Structure 1
Amino acid sequence: MRAWVVRAGEHGERERAALDEGVLLAGWLGLGDLAEARTRDDVKVAVAAAYPDEGPYTVGNWTGQLYRFVHEIQPGDLVVLPLKSLLVAIGRVTGDYEYRSAAADGMRHVRRVEWLVTDIDRQVIQSDLLDSMGSLLTVFELSRFGAAERVTALGEGKADPGRPDADEFAATLTEPTKLFEEVRRRTSDEPLALSIRDFLAVWGIQRRYPADTERIKNDLEARGLVTVPPFTEGTLDSQIAVLAGGAEPDESGTSAVTRLSGSTVQSPAVQSAAHAAGHLAEEETEPQTVAYRVSNLDSANRMPESVRIGDSLGTAMTIMVLRGYSQLPVLDADGRLRGVVSWESIGRARMADPGADLQTATVRGQEADRSDDLLDWIGTIQQSGYVLVRDHDHKVCGLITASDLTVQFGTRVRPFVLVEEIEQRLRRVVDRCIPLDRIRAVVPRGRASRVNSAANLTFGAYGHLLRVPENWAALGWAIDQQHFLAALEECRNFRNSLMHFSPDPITDDQLLPAQGLLELLRSVDPQI
């Protein structure tokens, strides 16, 4: 049994029909029946024909989602439907793919589902599972952190049991002092290892904004502690060790960091931290800024499927067809990259020699280090479609595709687009309804003369402007002023935090207040 998320439209426009009719609705306006599309290539042909103006990356992304919806989702699987109301519905798939030709466009691609529960509050779902639900894709699998078992429990009305590998001890580190005491209590042979997510939670933080990161660095420095690898690198679920980096040497004359680097530890998390400890620069424990590293992408930390030297070309081709891959890394016995086999390289090799083997079809692959700046690799990924990722031991540990970039930067751009539309709508209605002299009245006197329209106002000024009864009445909106102003202030705080930039993704829950304000503005001022 597997667990999936199938959204009901970007703004939840299909969720009422999904709940009332007991169906999953895939959308995709203008796309015909996929019942006869047996393979991924068949689906791709149909998508390309329906959307001839779309590029290959978009076509490939949509193909993957639709292939999952038509073929990979099976009766008996669980499905999660996030709702606009901040609630979550969970159901069990009961039927195969259907195409309803008589239904409205966008309501034709369906899977039957029995809804088990439709009113789960997101607050009862732990943050790691909520984050997994935050993808912008319409159809995707929840495959991490024991998701299927946890969704099963939620569907039965039970509490989210949490990830099976959850660090129960980390949950007891509720404040920095407890963390410091625990590190001091431990020996260098048994360092404190935990995820970056759990580490940040000690300070009550969910995302690595610069101000919060600086505060943690200062706390660590004051206590003589260091994290390896740095807590500013990697995803929120990457493992780090917290060490007494400033402690004096022991009887052997070595520091805790050096002892950890040379120790024979058993925990994979501590082994990773130990290796990273040996690569710290002299007198440097943390980078001065939070760079957007290759390792910040989830796919860079997820071991890709591969073939090994000595495997047959048929093995590689079988895996590529089964998984819909365009290429596969070819690794040696130690997990290091020896090249890549792709459909293009296979075609070229077979043109020269119909009996070509895997070695002949293997070509040089693009390989980035986890610590590289992601921006340096975007051009390569766009040109070749992928880049493989290696760890400190030069072993392959991930694969980034153009599709991963599309999802990642779509996730990062979406909040800015949302806030920009809110500001544009506020400017338009204020300029239309409120005279310039009253707009200038909320601006400090020394700057009032430079205000020629609402475009010259800061975002925070709208709250002051619309708090004036005369200005609020001028809008003519039949909505509650206090609730609107509260939502506006919440959006202002969200906008300010957004402008500080963080390498960590913004979840759907964090976007909801701004989305709600935008929907309200669209309702009271429906002009496009």
Structure 2
Amino acid sequence: MAGPRVVSPHDPANRRVSVRDLLTANLVTAGDRLRFIRPRSGEEHVATVSSAGAIVLPDGSEYDTPSDAARAVANIQVNGWIVWRTDSNRTLASLRNELRDVEAGVTELTTASEFLQETKGQVRAGDTVSITVRELLRHWNAHTRGTRITRRIEKDLTSHDLTTFPHFRDVTLDTTVRFFALDEEQPPKSSDEQVLKMHTASTPEPDDGDPPQIGLKVGNLLSALNGVVFVPPEGSVEQAITQMQIDDFSQLAVMAANKRKLIGAVTWKSIAIARHNSADATLQDCLIDAPEIPYDQELVDVLGVLQSVGFVFVRNERNEINGIVTAADLAHAYGDMATPFFLIGELDQLLRHIVSKHIDLADVVKLCDASGSREIKSFDQLTMGDYERALQNPDAWAQIGTKLDRVSFCQRLGMIREVRNDIMHFNPEDIPANTVDMLRNFLRMIRLNVPGC
């Protein structure tokens, strides 16, 4: 990890940034609307950006800084860079950090730390701080949620006594999450006093240095939290049929308008059976039981339901039915993962064969588990990281009997190990587009150049 960054008064990254600077950099434009929302007090304040870079309130008054404008409308001392948001839901603070990234090459650690410090102060002051997952990742110079960056963000949040709700890894990239203090006694409540579950997940450090294993959650699928079309229980069969044809749906939710009480579902099959039994069948006659799950459930846990029923409705963090996952959604999510999944399994078997054939187990244990804490008794216990550590050793490499360059080989093996966890645990966000070609080329090279393969 890099050491502490030396702060210089001449460093552009530390100069005082103004809204005018954001305007000059085209990060905001004249006339853009800004919003300052305070849910606890039921207040929403609106302002606009002037052509001179000032913040203009509805009464025509202008302020040079976001904090002055926020203080004017809310009559409290507050960090305006955090509370004012654009219509694209970005805070002025995030735009300021983006400008600093461009101008001065601020490191990911500095940007993330500054952001979390500001967020912590705002949360402690009792104000709401929300952000999209995509924008959250940007503070760590990341675009996807691989296992390593997820662990890094979780540790940084914890070090600042913060957590997000919903958890940032359990939803889609464009879902908005809210920050809370870890020691906050009660989670937020919805309008009907339904208590929501807080997530303060922490992931233990693995002994062998491999990242934690994080699989897909139901909420990671776009359809899971993308809204749901439904008919009320007092609706008609014709209404359901029309809606299903309009949207080309195979099933439809039947529930109350508040989206909290799911009555059931209707499908083409249930309608056909009911109408076959009685031409006058009502919507209630067509109802079938509708499976439902929380958004933060592991996707692998619902495979059986999807196989038998074909669909499942999803409850969001406010306990509303807010999406549906079908077998087709599952096929799309996992379909592109099948090839790299099997290739990585093939590579694992091939590397185990090479290591077990040419290197004594005792030597491998010395290289991979010198302390004996893992109690390795068989080659079957070795991980991709173990293969890399063993083959990095010049003496062990010499026993392989290949003319391939050890350094280049292990560098590529290290790259493959980096994406292996995301492949094996179906995390498609962080898998490079060229992964299949990289794996096939590596396998081909091994078979052509390593004896006994």
Match of 1:518 in 2: 440
Determine helix, strand or coil for the equivalent of 2:90: coil
Q: CA deviation at 1:339?
A: 2.0
Match of 1:386 in 2: 311
* C-alpha contact (below 8 Å) 2:123/2:180 kept by paired residues: no
Please state if 1:234 is matched with 2:148.
Answer: no
Please state if 1:395 is matched with 2:289.
Answer: no
- How many equivalent pairs are there? 332
Q: Indicate how the Cα distance of structure 1 residues 519 and 318 shifts in structure 2: closer, same or farther if over 3 A, else same.
A: farther
Q: In 1, Cα distance between the equivalents of 2:116 and 2:158?
A: 14
One of 361, 370, 373 as aligned partner of 2:295: 370
Amino acid aligned to 1:424: Q
Amino acid aligned to 1:351: H
Determine helix, strand or coil for the equivalent of 1:329: strand
Q: In 2, Cα distance between the equivalents of 1:224 and 1:455?
A: 37
Structure 2: runs of 5+ lacking an equivalent: 1-85, 98-110, 204-213, 371-375
In the TM superposition, what are the counterparts of 1:396-475 in structure 2 within 5 Å?
396-410=321-335, 415-426=340-351, 436=358, 444=366, 458-461=386-389, 463-464=391-392, 474-475=401-402
Please state if 1:167 is matched with 2:95.
Answer: no
Q: In 2, Cα distance between the equivalents of 1:445 and 1:377?
A: 40
Determine helix, strand or coil for the equivalent of 1:191: coil
Q: In 2, Cα distance between the equivalents of 1:445 and 1:507?
A: 29
Match of 2:231 in 1: 307
Match of 2:62 in 1: none
Q: Deviations over 1:107-158 (max 9, x none)?
A: xxxxxxxxxxxxxxxxxxxxxxxxxxxxxxxxxxxxxxxxxxxxxxxxxxxx
Q: In 1, Cα distance between the equivalents of 2:164 and 2:368?
A: 48
Match of 2:211 in 1: none
Determine helix, strand or coil for the equivalent of 2:229: coil
In the TM superposition, what are the counterparts of 1:99-498 in structure 2 within 5 Å?
165=88, 167=90, 169=92, 170=94, 172=96, 174-185=111-122, 190-204=127-141, 206-207=144-145, 209=147, 216-244=153-181, 246=183, 261=189, 278-280=195-197, 286-288=200-202, 293-321=217-245, 323-335=247-259, 336-410=261-335, 415-426=340-351, 436=358, 444=366, 458-461=386-389, 463-464=391-392, 474-475=401-402, 483-495=408-420, 497-498=421-422
Q: CA deviation at 1:504?
A: 4.6
Q: CA deviation at 1:381?
A: 2.0
Q: Indicate how the Cα distance of structure 1 residues 337 and 470 shifts in structure 2: closer, same or farther if over 3 A, else same.
A: closer
Q: Superposition RMSD on alpha carbons, in Å? A: 4.7
Q: CA deviation at 1:326?
A: 2.2
Amino acid aligned to 1:228: F
Q: In 2, Cα distance between the equivalents of 1:230 and 1:464?
A: 38
Q: Indicate how the Cα distance of structure 1 residues 522 and 366 shifts in structure 2: closer, same or farther if over 3 A, else same.
A: same
Structure 1: runs of 5+ lacking an equivalent: 1-162, 248-254, 263-270
Q: CA deviation at 1:399?
A: 0.6
Match of 1:91 in 2: none
Q: Indicate how the Cα distance of structure 1 residues 471 and 396 shifts in structure 2: closer, same or farther if over 3 A, else same.
A: same
* C-alpha contact (below 8 Å) 1:208/1:503 kept by paired residues: no
Q: Indicate how the Cα distance of structure 1 residues 476 and 430 shifts in structure 2: closer, same or farther if over 3 A, else same.
A: farther
Q: Indicate how the Cα distance of structure 1 residues 520 and 328 shifts in structure 2: closer, same or farther if over 3 A, else same.
A: same
Query: After the TM superposition, which segments of 4 or more aligned residues of structure 1 sit over 6 Å from their partners?
Result: 437-443, 445-448, 450-457, 465-472
Match of 2:428 in 1: 505
Amino acid aligned to 2:88: D
* C-alpha contact (below 8 Å) 2:116/2:157 kept by paired residues: no
Q: In 2, Cα distance between the equivalents of 1:454 and 1:362?
A: 51
* C-alpha contact (below 8 Å) 1:330/1:339 kept by paired residues: yes
* C-alpha contact (below 8 Å) 2:311/2:326 kept by paired residues: yes
Q: CA deviation at 1:488?
A: 2.2
Determine helix, strand or coil for the equivalent of 1:525: helix
Q: CA deviation at 1:244?
A: 4.6
Q: Indicate how the Cα distance of structure 1 residues 454 and 226 shifts in structure 2: closer, same or farther if over 3 A, else same.
A: closer
Q: Deviations over 1:193-233 (max 9, x none)?
A: 10233324434454263x76565455444434343333353
* C-alpha contact (below 8 Å) 1:208/1:504 kept by paired residues: yes
Q: In 2, Cα distance between the equivalents of 1:455 and 1:507?
A: 26
Q: Indicate how the Cα distance of structure 1 residues 469 and 386 shifts in structure 2: closer, same or farther if over 3 A, else same.
A: closer
Q: Indicate how the Cα distance of structure 1 residues 452 and 207 shifts in structure 2: closer, same or farther if over 3 A, else same.
A: closer
Q: Indicate how the Cα distance of structure 1 residues 179 and 430 shifts in structure 2: closer, same or farther if over 3 A, else same.
A: closer
Q: TM-score, normalised by structure 1?
A: 0.50
* C-alpha contact (below 8 Å) 2:171/2:220 kept by paired residues: yes
* C-alpha contact (below 8 Å) 2:359/2:396 kept by paired residues: no
Q: TM-score, normalised by structure 2?
A: 0.57
